[in-house]
Amino acid sequence: DTGVSQNPRHKITKRGQNVTFRCDPISEHNRLYWYRQTLGQGPEFLTYFQNEAQLEKSRLLSDRFSAERPKGSFSTLEIQRTEQGDSAMYLCASSLPARGVSSYEQYFGPGTRLTVT
Amino acid sequence: ILNVEQSPQSLHVQEGDSTNFTCSFPSSNFYALHWYRWETAKSPEALFVMTLNGDEKKKGRISATLNTKEGYSYLYIKGSQPEDSATYLCAFYRAGGTSYGKLTFGQGTILTVHP
């Protein structure tokens, strides 16, 4: 399977614990996005990487959140001191370098569902 | 703040019915409008990327139209089948500035097709 993969698929954690999620994009895609979806809402943008550079962060991304893409390939999203409000589906997407209409399309992984108890 | 609205929020139809959903988005700074289908426990799957006013796209029994001047897009499903049951998301890609291609999603329309 050469699509976007995310691990783990599900994570249950207690409030106050730290969690880390991983995203492996499609290999030739240099752009990588993280989104978060809460119940009844559409996915909301969290952050964007072009290669290893984090170029944009949403105001939704508090100080407890950090994302990395150290070698411009896979990415990790870490949440420190989790809160119940962090419970959501965390989606990763990747896309081709920005040229032409085909680059507009983002390919999504299946997401990591986080439950904070 | 960009508002992307979808209606209805949910829809129940019988197998064989045709149905349609609406996505409304800001008509200024338009760059592209995406439609995704998201089945439970799977990845959101891209259906269409639409960029030109008046665009009509079709994939099998699913089609979509785009009006960028008034800021809306319709998604049509002809002869719905149970396997069409999913959440349908539209997403707006804003031109200019430092949007870097990030998508602003609507809240989705949940379609359930009953056999």
Quick check: B91 and B106 in contact, CB under 8 A? yes
Per-residue pLDDT at A28:
86
Q: Which positions in chain A touch B4 (Cβ < 8 Å)? A: 42
Quick check: A45 and B103 in contact, CB under 8 A? yes
Whole-number Å distance between alpha carbons of B64 and A20: 38
Which of A22-31, A94-103, B57-66 has the weakest average pLDDT? Answer: A94-103
Interface of A with B in 69-108 (CB under 8 A): 91, 95, 98, 101, 103-108
Taking residues B89-100, report their average pLDDT: 79
Best B7, B38, B102 residue to mutate vs chain A (most A CBs within 10 Å)? B102
Which of B28-37, B38-47, B83-92 has the weakest average pLDDT? Answer: B28-37
Best A6, A10, A92, A106 residue to mutate vs chain B (most B CBs within 10 Å)? A106
Q: Categorize the per-residue pLDDT at A71 as very low, low, confident or very high, splitting at 50, 70 and 90.
A: confident
For A110, the closest of B36, B42, B89 (CB atoms) is B42
Q: Which of the two residues, B82 and A60, has the higher pLDDT score?
A: B82
Per-residue pLDDT at B29:
82
Per-residue pLDDT at A72:
86
Q: Which positions in chain B touch A95 (Cβ < 8 Å)? A: 101
Quick check: B21 and B88 in contact, CB under 8 A? yes
Distance (Å) from the C-alpha of residue B14 to the closest C-alpha of chain A?
A: 23
Q: Categorize the per-residue pLDDT at B14 as very low, low, confident or very high, splitting at 50, 70 and 90.
A: very high
Q: Categorize the per-residue pLDDT at B105 as very low, low, confident or very high, splitting at 50, 70 and 90.
A: very high
Whole-number Å distance between alpha carbons of B25 and B112: 24
Q: Categorize the per-residue pLDDT at A53 as very low, low, confident or very high, splitting at 50, 70 and 90.
A: very high
Q: Categorize the per-residue pLDDT at B98 as very low, low, confident or very high, splitting at 50, 70 and 90.
A: low
Residue A95: which residues within 8 A CB-CB, separation 6 or more? Answer: A29, A31, A33, A103, A104, A105, A106, A107, B101
B1 touches chain A (CB under 8 A): no
Distance (Å) from the C-alpha of residue A39 to the closest C-alpha of chain B?
A: 9
A60 touches chain B (CB under 8 A): no
Per-residue pLDDT at B99:
61
